[in-house]
Amino acid sequence: MIVTTTAIVEDSPVRQYIGVATGEVIMAANVGRDLLASFRDLVGGRSKAYETKLREARDAAFAEMTQQASEMGANAVIGVNINYEVIRQGMLMVAVSGTAVII
């Protein structure tokens, strides 16, 4: 499935607009990761633990969105928007949405 942040896919005109497809994921980091991330934040390093968790959440949100689009009969999702939020300390939310289409 083609997934893009652009409104079009070059050389592939949209034949049918189906609707909005979404994916939302909330993930919690564990205590060990929290402590490691806090320590790295103190010394100015990157928090690989949170970066990994954020990547996992983003991948899961995209998988949920593309699954929904596929179930709607789409073969592409255009105009994708990605939102990141910190719900509270150690809780990450990633929400993605786009327009499910047939190209």
Digits of tens for pLDDT over the chain (103 positions)? 999 999 999 999 999 999 999 999 998 866 455 555 555 555 566 667 777 888 899 999 999 999 999 999 999 999 999 999 888 776 889 999 999 999 9
CB 5 within 8 A of CB 85: no
Domain ranges for the chain = 2-102
Q: Could you tell me the two tokens for 4?
A: 């893009």
Give the pLDDT score at 32: 54
- Length, in residues, of the chain: 103
Nearest to 86 by CA among 54, 42, 62: 54
**CATH number for the domain whose boundaries are 2-102:** 3.30.110.70
Give the pLDDT score at 42: 52
